[in-house]
Amino acid sequence: MDQQQSNRSIAEADGRYVEVAVQAPLRRTYTYRLPDRLIGKVAPGSRVAVPFGRRKLVGFVLDTNSRALEGRTMKELAGVLESEPILPQELLSFLADAATYYHHPIGEVLRAAAPALPTEALKLLRQQGFLERGETLPGERVSTRRVLMVRPSADSPPQSRVGSNQRKILTLLEERGEISLDELRQHLKNPRHAVRSLEKKRIVATFEREAPIDPFFSEKVSADIPPRLNPAQSRAVSAIINNAPGSRSAYLLYGVTGSGKTEVYLRVIAEFRARGLGALVLVPEIALTPQLVSRFRARFGDAIAVLHSGLSIRERNRAWHCLRRGAVDLAVGARSALFAPVRKLGVIIVDEEHDASFKQEEGFRYHARDMALWRAHSANAVCVLGSATPSMESFYRAQQGKLQLLTLPERATPQPLPAVEIVDLARHRQGPSQHRLLTEPMLQALESCRQTRGQAILFLNRRGFSPSVRCVSCGEVAQCPACNVALVEHRREGVLRCHYCDFSKPLNTMCSECGGAVFESLGVGTERLEEALATRFPELRVARLDRDIAAGQGVESVLERLRRGEIDILVGTQMVTKGHDIPGVVLVGVMLADQSLAFPDFRASERTFQLLSQVAGRAGRGEKKGRVLIQSYQPQHPAIESARTHDYLSFYHNELRARREVGFPPFSRVVAVRVDAGGETEARKAAAELARVARNQRAVREGRVRLLGPAPAPISRLRGRYRFRLMLRAADRAALRVVTSALVERIDRGIAPARVILDVDPISML
């Protein structure tokens, strides 16, 4: 059909047709006709209900000037679900670009960014049959979880004949007046029995209280007085605010741990707010940064939207609409807060920009750091990326002039960076404790810490008692029946558990190979290390912080005990490496620095250096000097040696040379394609078919795009499904996009029974 015929087949736009992205895994959009009653009531960003085949779906209006094909009857829009567009134009345009870049269905992208539908709209959809079959109304009740509290009885008799556990409870009550049963569990293994006994003696009384809806606002915070900036901080603040507003500037704030990056953020935000502009702050994991939120509240009050997963639907919607209306102009949250509708957006700050948790690993696989730069650019706002250990990609951008580099080379406190010592585990094979990781240098450091009444953090990136167990009879390592991974021993729970699919079975189970009943533990996890330390130092208070503990006691409760000096040694996984500021911590021990180096990932060295540097930065942030011990079987590895000397630049240049030789980022872009199926043959065939499509593309044939694979994934079987992967790599971004689009077209035609996941700029190589 020639262009003239094509033009004749399209009806001119007259404001009666709208382009809609429906909430479904479909990459195309659809055109609908506006009924007379809705003309003038629909705008880009409006959330609407539309007929779709035999169903009715929710969608978002992208354009109100669409055209309809001649000779085709266009379906009518069913209704508008809110009185005004739910997505502002700035955010709508940004999300549409993001959907294109990540090759993800735009309707699902918009759904991820929008708040939940209001109850009234959902009821209307249900009544008129607009909801998809099986879709339910989300609960609208505000969380009213209640907690059991303990306080002294009003008519308490003389406190005679109380046991040791009861005495501990009474001592805590003398200090605090009242305490929750959940908090008592942090001090006693089974406090309920002791509380019951005290209650029978009329020494204490119990009552219920509604739990705070938002833990970040549960306690009062006193207003702070901004400290005097040091010269480096002043230069950073001036550089950022003098180029604003509307400059689309982007900065990398590279500052050593404890250099005062947060104070720079606070000053910049205050300046932008004074100009009537809003701010958005992204943090890696909101649950791990309560101190940061407290500092923001102390400086700006409670008119802050803290967006996190613990909010009820109503509270989340309330925060979203407060931002949308402009009642609140500052949002703080994890990666999904990137989509917050901050009005007159002036600045986006990404704290700890190197952190891998900014990458969404399911559904819409975006990277919040990269998208923050994009959104700031599209909104004429400023973006600030901050880190003590910048990602290779960000520092390379700064070296190329795409980001303006600002440095904070010294700590803001009088104390210098802590001294770092390396312990060669090949030489210290067995410490005096008969525990492989409790070497003599580590025990001596802990003893010195005890004598000076300092606190210690010990980092071991393996939770559980032991990473694996082996049958004594036949030597078989217990594996998950659904995944090709070893089961982890959780001795306190009495189970062997898979950390990928959560399968578990009792510890006293029989060996699946020989029927043997005796297993031996292999390796060390945080639970086992905690037990060994408690045995070696019975007079010290030892605690643990990992995902197992966080699910029960909560992260903040453990960290608060550490701040109050109620913990002498804290054992933990990556959760202890985040930006915690505990003045009493003088010793940091890295029990096994080599674990992350063994990952089949080109970023293994980078992650190791970042982990070591970040956890080392927890030491010596108060009045006493800090000390760090790093135990490793590879003490000469560049990542470990650079961490020892706090030398980021040395690590960066060494790693950059290695990346250049093999052509990995930042010298190229990568797209990962992951295929899984119930059978190995089906998965292999689907991966081979996608590889065939890629090889047929001119850019691959000419070598401008390199195809790696297909090959079995490092974890070749997960949750009962067999996994293969292939990878596209290219320095030519346009050529990579053409090849990726060809794969997307083939995937959309269907490649059953396999499932395919396409990941642009992947972080995980597993």
Domains and CATH numbers, the chain: 3-127 (3.40.1440.60), 146-210 (1.10.10.10), 231-408 (3.40.50.300), 419-467+523-658 (3.40.50.300), 669-760 (3.30.70.360)
Beta pairing class for 382-387 and 30-33? unpaired
**Residue-wise DSSP of 532-580:** HHHHH-TTS-EEEESHHHHHHT-HHHHHHHHHTT--SEEEESGGGSSS-
- CA atoms of 631 and 235, how far apart (whole Å): 38
**Whether pLDDT at 10 is above 50:** no
The Cα–Cα gap between 387 and 283 comes to 11
Measured in degrees and rounded to the nearest 5, phi and psi for residue 323 equal: -70, -40
Helix (H, G, I), strand (E, B) or coil at 346: strand
Ramachandran region of residue 580, left (φ > 0), alpha (ψ -120 to 50) or beta? beta
Structure tokens at 357: 């948790």
Question: 3-state DSSP call for residue 614?
Answer: helix
Residue 575, pLDDT score = 84
Report the pLDDT value the prediction gives residue 127, as an integer from 0 to 100: 66
Q: Measure the CA–CA gap between 327 and 98, rounded to whole angstroms.
A: 27
State the pLDDT at residue 454.
93
Q: How confident is the model at residue 3 (pLDDT cuts 50, 70, 90)?
A: very low
CA distance 51 to 78: 7
Assess contact for 564 and 541: CB atoms under 8 A.
no
Q: Percent of the chain beyond pLDDT 90?
A: 50
pLDDT at 96 > cutoff 70: yes
* Whether residue 245 has pLDDT greater than 70: no
What tens digit of pLDDT does each residue of 705-761 get?
999 999 999 999 999 999 999 999 999 999 999 999 999 999 999 988 999 999 999
pLDDT of 395 strictly over 90:
yes
Tell me which amino acid residue 121 is: A
179-208 per-position pLDDT tens digit: 777 778 767 777 888 888 888 888 888 877
Task: Supply 57's token pair.
Answer: 């779906």
**For residues 542-557, average pLDDT:** 78
Q: How far apart are CA 249 and CA 348, in angstroms?
A: 11
Q: Provide the 3-class DSSP secondary structure of residue 428.
A: coil
Q: What is the pLDDT of residues 35-59, one digit of tens each?
A: 888 888 899 999 998 988 877 888 9
Residues belonging to the chain: 766
Helices (H) and strands (E) in the chain, counts: 23, 30
Over residues 296-320, mean pLDDT: 82
Q: What is the structure's pLDDT at 700?
A: 97
**Confidence grade of residue 701 (pLDDT, cut at 50, 70, 90):** very high
Which burial class, exposed, middle or buried, applies to 71 when counting CB atoms under 10 A from its CB (0-12, 13-18, 19+)? exposed
Least confident span in 153-157, 564-568, 612-616: 153-157
Helix (H, G, I), strand (E, B) or coil at 259: coil
Q: What is the pLDDT of residues 444-480, one digit of tens each?
A: 999 999 999 999 999 998 888 888 888 888 888 998 9
Q: What is the pLDDT of residue 15?
A: 64
- In the chain, pLDDT over 70 holds for what percent of residues? 89
Q: Which of 277, 282, 306 is nearest to 379 (CA)?
A: 277
Phi, psi (degrees; rounded to nearest 5) at 165 = -65, -40
For residues 633 and 377, give the distance between their C-alpha atoms in angstroms, rounded to a whole number: 45
The distance from CA 383 to its chain's CA centroid, rounded to whole angstroms, is 19
d(CA 550, CA 85): 39
Give the CB-side neighbour count of residue 671, counting CA atoms within 13 A.
29
CA-CA distance, 293 to 290, in Å (whole number)? 5
